[in-house]
Amino acid sequence: MLRIAERMRHWLAPRQPAAALASTQEFDASRERAAIAETLLASAARLMNARSELETVQGICNALCGASQHIRLAWTWFGERDTQSIHPQAYAGAASAYAAQLVIHRNALTEIGPAFRTLSGDHASDYAVSRFSVFGPWREMAQQYGVRSVLAVPLRSDFSGMSGIFVVYANQNDYFKQVGEGLFLALGALFTSVLTASAERLELERAVNHDALTGVLNRHALPVVERRMARHSLFDPRSFVLLIDLDHFKQINDTHGHAVGDEVLRRTARALRDTLRREDSVMRWGGEEFLVCLHNISAEDATRVAEKLRLAIASIAEPVAVTASIGIAEVRAQQALDVAIVLADKALFAAKAAGRNRVSCEN
């Protein structure tokens, strides 16, 4: 009877995940620290040759988790400081499935615990996770992946109000106190530098491809737009271009001055953006000309959009009233975007000749 009772206790005892069992084995903090440092240094040259900054960060997360059986997850996020919802952009480890679906709402940080308040702090935060936590995700991490310690390192950047966070999860109690936070703080500093460089590059690309006065795209962005608009066969979605020219714009500059003319251009660009779909492109084509690219749209709807844009511009009353003439042309299958723009220009000329403040379609 005693043996049967012992067997029943064994069968009924809660099973610990393999990850949790690993944390109960003898832990050598010095060996752990050396293994991680050696792995990261060995992979440094390969990681620096990554095709993008985010790929570099992903590679470091992969190397970090691959160097230690105790690190169950490492993830990072970097973006605008006032972003309301964040989710991991690069992550690695046995608990990657958890990171893939993780979304943190910034207005609910106090419900998550002190770790994520370091998003706006200056120091790393090392804290313990209990498998009895009242917060569901922590309980899941502790039970399924054996997580016992987490370190959150804020990524602070002086560039354009950017910030972020680097988070590491381990299955060993007091893991980061034993191994030392210095190594992970150094990775956080590296991530800040790499991701800041990425943000600077993207801002530079944006400055090159956007008109400084109106904020819409400029001609430098045409190759990017053309790839989106290209029709390789008759079975591809139809695309149309609209060439918009403000009527008598020279008179506005001559009568009211260039400052007023600039404000008219800014308000026109805003009216175009507010009227169009998110996937449509607006480009400042010339002094008072704008190019609108409509993808996946019928001829009838393209004409309706052009008329809506004409009315939106005509509704501008300040600083002065303005109207526009619009020419429409379809991007034919296997036809360069430049050809469609030339045809739209001809339609625009026809709208001007017919009295301005109207829409004309290329036949």
Residue 239 falls inside a structural domain:
yes
Answer yes or no: do 50 and 170 share one domain. yes
CATH number at residue 47: 3.30.450.40
Q: What is the pLDDT of residues 231-265, one digit of tens each?
A: 777 778 889 999 999 999 999 998 999 999 999 99
In angstroms, rounded to a whole number, what is the distance separating the alpha carbons of residues 310 and 308? 5
Using the 3D structure, point to which of 152, 174, 206 is the last residue of a domain.
Answer: 206
Residue 4 falls inside a structural domain:
no
Whether the pTM exceeds 0.75: the reply is no
Lowest mean pLDDT among 111-115, 214-218, 241-245: 111-115
Answer yes or no: do 192 and 227 share one domain. no
Answer yes or no: do 195 and 66 share one domain. yes
Answer yes or no: do 195 and 318 share one domain. no
Contact, 208 vs 220, CB < 8 A? yes
Q: What is the pLDDT of residues 168-186, one digit of tens each?
A: 999 999 999 999 988 898 8
Using the 3D structure, point to which of 206, 228, 248 is the last residue of a domain.
Answer: 206
Residue 211 falls inside a structural domain:
no
**Number of domain units in the chain:** 2
Q: How many helices (H) and strands (E) does the chain have?
A: 15, 12
Average pLDDT over residues 6-26: 45
CATH number at residue 280: 3.30.70.270
Buried b (16+ CB within 10 A) or exposed e, 180-200: ebebbeebbebbbebbbebbe
Using the 3D structure, point to which of 206, 228, 243 is the last residue of a domain.
Answer: 206
Answer yes or no: do 236 and 355 share one domain. yes
- In terms of Cβ atoms closer than 10 Å to its own Cβ (0-12, 13-18, 19+), residue 347 is buried
Q: How confident is the model at residue 8 (pLDDT cuts 50, 70, 90)?
A: very low
Answer yes or no: do 197 and 258 share one domain. no
Answer yes or no: do 192 and 240 share one domain. no
Query: How much is the pLDDT for 68?
Result: 94
Judged by DSSP in three states, 43 sits in coil
Q: Which residues contact 194 (CB under 8 A, 6 or more apart)?
A: 53, 56, 57
Average pLDDT over residues 77-96: 88
Contact, 160 vs 81, CB < 8 A? no
Answer yes or no: do 130 and 195 share one domain. yes
Query: How much is the pLDDT for 95?
Result: 94
- In terms of Cβ atoms closer than 10 Å to its own Cβ (0-12, 13-18, 19+), residue 308 is middle
Which percentage of the chain shows pLDDT scores above 70? 83
Q: What is the pLDDT of residues 309-345, one digit of tens each?
A: 999 999 998 999 999 999 999 998 888 888 999 999 9
Answer yes or no: do 185 and 52 share one domain. yes
Q: Is the pLDDT of residue 7 over 60?
A: no
Residue 1 falls inside a structural domain:
no
In the chain, which ranges are continuous DSSP H helix? 2-12, 18-24, 29-42, 44-48, 53-67, 96-100, 109-112, 136-145, 175-179, 182-209, 222-229, 249-256, 258-275, 299-314, 337-353
Residue 3 falls inside a structural domain:
no
Query: How much is the pLDDT for 42?
Result: 84
Average pLDDT over residues 201-212: 73
Query: How much is the pLDDT for 120?
Result: 47
* Average pLDDT score over the chain: 82
Answer yes or no: do 102 and 233 share one domain. no
The residues pairing with 104 across neighbouring beta strands, listed in sequence order, are 86
User: What's the domain range around 279?
Assistant: 219-361
Answer yes or no: do 341 and 239 share one domain. yes
Which percentage of the chain shows pLDDT scores above 90? 45
Q: What is the pLDDT of residues 42-59, one digit of tens each?
A: 887 776 676 677 888 899
Average pLDDT over residues 208-226: 85
